[in-house]
A and B are shown apart, each in its own frame.
Chain A
Amino acid sequence: MSQDEKKDIVLSVKDLKVTFTTEEGVLSAVDGVTFSLERGKVLAIVGESACGKSVTAFSILRLIQKPGQIAGGKIIVYPKNKPPIDITSLTEKSDMLYQVRGGLISMIFQEPMTALSPVHTIGNQICEAILLHQSVTNKEAEKHAIEMLGKVGIPQPERRLQQYPHEFSGGMRQRVVIAMALVCQPEILIADEPTTALDVTIQAQILDLIKSLQRDLGTSVIFITHDLGVVAQIADDVAVMYLGRLVEQASVRAVLKDPLHPYTTGLLKSLPRNETKQARLPSITGNVPSLTHLPTGCPFHPRCPDSIPGVCDVGDNPVMERLPNGRLVSCCGARKFKEMTKT
């Protein structure tokens, strides 16, 4: 892809496949996902539950555990002033992997309650991350931790450092988790639904915080969410996932204002708009099929309003294609559109 090479890429994921071996057979939770993250940008991965967005994020940090495994593909990080690292080729216990985890790439998890240890103080937990990745003394680490807590907007960081997670409210806990993730100045931050468990008022503050920290520190962010409102506020680029595959990828404005894939269109339409008592919400019919019984052809065709019999329901999955206008979409209908514009 010539267009991508010109950009300053910090992470590239190519044809990633993650499978889970279960009693019902081998399920592909992520099937051929390809995307790249530009340095200093925010990429949002959007999709419904069980579409593989978290699994994608976990595999970037090699956190997939048995019975799951990365079955194929490449994940390459391009750190600043360092040679690129192929994450998929690293062995489970290599030093390099430990450096990548938490040092180069760090993660914010959904539940601020479960992401923190209840039996260690906040200071203890933040300093642990610093001491693991930097050669500093305990004193320096503590100073660093206080500074970071101040940055994420926690009042009286010196006192708060001595406290345990149960002494913090949900929003404050999420701030601590963000501080922990950013304290080693990672190049990439993966945020897995960081605001889903929070109230809208607190969500607004956390989004604001992530945005301003991202701007100040120049971190590249992969933001996983199912909330299209949040996407509009934080992302530069958006990748939409359905059943383990990317269906559409473009800038946030393009995806939200002019969606090409019928799934993206359906998702946007089914959001209750800010109008009072409209007649009925347009909804996507049917349910998300189970990974054990994937439909043939395009996995979305049984729910797709524009599905073309004989085109969408046969053959293999449609692959991600670049349309003449530069947009990436994997849809048989879009392919038809491409052929039409050619002739």
Chain B
Amino acid sequence: MNDLKIEPLLKVKNFSKHFPIYSQGFGRKQIDVIKAVDNVSFNLNPGETLGLVGESGSGKTTCARTILRALKPTSGTVIFRTNGEAIDLVKLKERELKPLRTQMQMIFQDPFSSLNPRMTVGDIVGEPLYIHKLARGKELIDRVDDMLVKVGMKPEHRQRYPHAFSGGQRQRIGIARALIMRPSLVVCDEAVSALDVSVQAQVINLLEDLQEELNLTYIFVAHDLSVVRHISNRVAVMHQGKIVEIDETESIFETPQHAYTRMLLSAIPHPDPDIKLEFTPISDSTEI
């Protein structure tokens, strides 16, 4: 990779998110702190997909959400490059963040709970444009139709409600809502893990096609390592809030360096009865 020429879209440095724990009752004192994300650093180049993997509770979702400022970071810097400017997301106030939100969007895991059942598909997909006052009336409808076609749905679906659609189609609606703002950075938080295998493949293909067409940069949070291997250029392995290993996808899967990565990889069951699982949990893995 010719990293030297390309300026990274996102530079995350010494980034942490800690949750304080308070004692019960009056005079709540802080008794402990959970380091959900602890001193994480990585770069993300434009057009790249970074896979973020780890067990549940390893901090991968918290990390992605805190980068987007859905949660307030504890320390560190997140340099986001937009229109030739480099902005530190950690220092920004809420109000200053709003215009930047058009650049960063999120696709959620559960296609059933992430769509408002009382809004039509057109309202759901068009809401970001409405909130940011980017389009209205006919133009808004045109852009929604355009986006629905892009994610493989029909313009006439605009008037229907989410309950009329299957899981895969709902996830397409979620993708349309995220991409209608033409973001440069998209966080896919377990975007395909709730879907059935046959539909999952369709949505993965869609995400890849859209990435090429709209020059998107993905942070792909997932626990399914084979999906991550398929879609990512680089992979970061998280364990107890820290990135234990980050490298090109090929190297992570072929020559994992960290013991935790090796353990995680050995736990994947292959759809081949001749490859037996040889899994030995390592001692510092979280208690099950």
Q: Is the CB of B271 within 8 A of A232?
A: yes
Contact partners of B196 in chain A: CB under 8 A = 48-49, 226, 288
Contact stretch, chosen from A158-166, A201-209, A305-313, A315-323: A201-209
Cβ contact within 8 Å between A199 and B56: yes
- A38 CA / B30 CA spacing, docked (Å): 58
A253 touches B269 (CB 8 A): no
Known A229-B270, A232-B272, A272-B227; contact A282-B201, beta-carbon cutoff 8 A: yes
Which chain B residues lie closer than 8 Å to A266 at the CB level? 198
Select A208's contact among B199, B205, B231, B277, beta carbons within 8 Å: B277
Task: Note all chain B residues with C-beta closer than 8 A to A287.
Answer: 166, 168-169, 199
Instruction: Tell me, yes or no, whether A117 is within 8 Å of chain B by CB.
Output: no
Report Cα–Cα, A34/B165, bound state, in Å: 31
Q: State whether B271 touches A228 (Cβ < 8 A).
A: yes
A25-33, A135-143, A168-176, A328-336: which lies at the interface: A168-176
* Bound-complex Cα distance A266 to B285 (A): 36
A13-38 with Cβ < 8 A to chain B: none
Q: Taking A201-B264, A276-B250, A281-B230 as contacts, is the C-beta distance between A208 and B279 under 8 angstroms? A: yes
Please state if A200 and B230 are interface contacts (CB–CB under 8 Å).
Answer: no
Task: Tell whether A283 pairs with B288 under 8 Å between CB atoms, given A199-B55, A232-B272, A270-B200.
Answer: no
Is the CB of B13 closer than 8 A to any CB of chain A? no
- Contact, CB under 8 Å: A170 / B288: yes
CA distance A277 to B235 in the complex (A): 12
Residue of A nearest to B58 (CB): A199
A296 at interface, CB cutoff 8 A:
no
Pick the contact of A278 from B202, B230, B270 — CB < 8 Å?
Answer: B230
B129 in the interface (beta carbon within 8 A): no
Whether B269 contacts A204 by the Cβ 8 Å rule is yes
With a CB–CB cut-off of 8 A, which chain A residues contact B202?
A: 283-285
Contact call A268/B271, Cβ cutoff below 8 A: yes
Specify which chain B residues have a CB less than 8 angstroms from the CB of A268 in the assembled complex. Answer: 271
Interface residues on B, range: 35 or more
**B201 & A281 in contact (Cβ 8 Å cutoff):** yes
Using Cβ atoms and an 8 Å threshold, which residues of chain B touch A156?
A: none
- Give Cα distance in the complex from A280 to B207, angstroms: 11
State in angstroms the CA–CA spacing of A288 and B200 once bound together.
13
The distance from the CB of B114 to the nearest CB of chain A, in whole angstroms, is 17
Q: Which residues of A contact B269 (CB under 8 A)?
A: 200, 203-204, 207, 227, 229-230, 232-233
Q: Distance (Å) between the CB of B138 and the closest chain A CB?
A: 31
Distance of A44 Cα from B159 Cα, bound (Å)? 41
Contact partner, B198, options A170, A233, A270, A274, Cβ 8 Å? A270
Report chain A residues within 8 Å CB of B250. Answer: 276
Instruction: Annotate B248-259 by CB proximity to A: 1 below 8 A, 0 otherwise.
Output: 011001000000
Q: How far is A228 from B271 in the complex, measured between Cα atoms in Å? A: 5
A271 at the interface (CB under 8 A from B): yes
Contact (Cβ within 8 A) B267 A201: yes
Q: Is the CB of B198 within 8 A of A276?
A: no
Contact B201–A201 (Cβ < 8 Å): no
Complex-state Cα separation, A232 to B270, whole angstroms: 7
> Is A43's CB within 8 Å of the partner chain B?
no
Is B268 interfacial (CB 8 A cutoff)?
yes
In the complex, what distance in Å separates the CA atom of A171 from the CA atom of B55? 12
Give A256-277 interface residues, CB cut-off 8 Å to B. 256-257, 266-268, 270-277
Measured between beta carbons, the chain A residues less than 8 angstroms from B277 are 204, 207-208, 233
Top 6 closest pairs, chain A to chain B, by CB: A171-B288, A283-B201, A229-B269, A270-B201, A272-B230, A284-B198
10 contacting pairs across A/B (C-beta < 8 A): A48-B197, A48-B199, A169-B286, A199-B223, A200-B264, A201-B264, A204-B269, A226-B197, A270-B198, A271-B201
Known contacts A48-B199, A200-B264, A272-B226, then 7 further A-B pairs from the complex at CB < 8 Å, ordered by chain A residue: A48-B197, A201-B267, A204-B279, A232-B270, A272-B229, A274-B226, A283-B202
